[in-house]
Structure 1
Amino acid sequence: MAGVSDLNAHTGYLLRMVSNAVSQEFARKVASEDVTVSEWVMLRSLYGSDAIAPSALADRMGMTKGAISKLAARLLEKGLIKRNGNPDDKRGHSLSLSTAGAEKVPVLARLADENDAAFFAVLSGEAHQSLRVLLYALINKHGLSAMPVD
């Protein structure tokens, strides 16, 4: 049809194709550790930091407080995070990694590293670095800050 561009002419479509492939393979890998990609992102966000209020974590991750609450509930049930009470505010609390969660993050990070290495091995080191520079340029230009979780 005249005037209708081909899907492959759209850079966004191509980015989505690549993103889906990388993400789906990573999702399979972290599933072997009984976590989802969203749970991994939350665990990694908590790693190496002090306990944080759910609202601050929601801001950091670019998610709603409701989404953070659902993720937290799942991770609490799995024993990977802990809820810390606030002595100054009986209704307030913060979240932090449990010992099991802190031990799991390096395992999941290794899976993420391996997934990237395997997927992007087709690119030379220079091409891979150029791709990262271009992606960061787009992220910065458009003020993107929400963490991709799904």
Structure 2
Amino acid sequence: MTAASELTDHTGYWMRMVSNAVSQEFARKVSGEDVTVAEWSFMRALYEVEPTPPSVLAERMGMTKGAISKLAERLVAKGLVERTENQRDKRAHSLSLTKEGRAKIPVLASLADKNDAEFFGVLTKEEHKTLDRILRLLAERRELKSTPVD
């Protein structure tokens, strides 16, 4: 019988364990504000660059136009995002946060900050900086650009 490494021998195993725990708790927190993690990511990406065409948002977030359209539909239905028709090209439109959507951003950002503090507060400041630096370095070297939404 060929030897097989243990699950716990893999860095990816530990990263996924922590990532799942952080993500699931954050999803629980934002659900209290009637949004999903994907919707929060979409709204936050829109926050400082509105109005924005969906294609620009898709590129910025590293998502497909179809995924952006689905998120936009859900957020329009919730009254958090609005579409504005392009006056020169009636087929084109831009997306913006509504007044209600804009007001949710600081609330949701505070929940994200709280979630980070709860999970990573067990690390020293230096350990946290090191972890952050290594994860950013991995993302950069692997050219990871897609916004994690699930």
- The TM-score range, normalised by the shorter chain, is over 0.9
Structure 2 counterpart of 1:110: 110
- Runs of 4+ aligned residues of structure 1 deviating over 3 Å after TM superposition are none
Note the aligned Cα RMSD (angstroms): 0.9
**Mapped partners of 2:131, 2:122: distance in 1:** 12
Whether 2:126 is the aligned partner of 1:96: answer no
**Mapped partners of 1:18, 1:69: distance in 2:** 30
Structure 2 counterpart of 1:40: 40
Aligned counterparts, 1:62-141, within 5 A = 62-141=62-141
State whether residues 50 and 97 of structure 2, in contact with CA within 8 Å, keep that contact through their aligned partners in structure 1: no
Unaligned stretches of 5+ residues in structure 2: none
**Mapped partners of 1:80, 1:13: distance in 2:** 36
Structure 1 counterpart of 2:148: 148
Post-superposition Cα deviations, 1:107-143, rounded to whole Å, max 9, x if no partner, equal 0000000000001111001000000000011011011
Give TM-score, length-normalised by structure 1: 0.98
User: Percent of pairs identical after alignment?
Assistant: 59
Unaligned stretches of 5+ residues in structure 1: none
Structure 2 counterpart of 1:4: 4
- Once the two structures are TM-superposed, the CA of residue 2 in structure 1 deviates from its matched residue by 4.1
**Mapped partners of 2:143, 2:65: distance in 1:** 21
Give TM-score, length-normalised by structure 2: 0.98
Give the number of equivalent residue pairs.
Answer: 150
SS of 1:96's equivalent in the other structure is strand
- Once the two structures are TM-superposed, the CA of residue 49 in structure 1 deviates from its matched residue by 1.6
**Mapped partners of 1:44, 1:56: distance in 2:** 14
SS of 1:146's equivalent in the other structure is coil
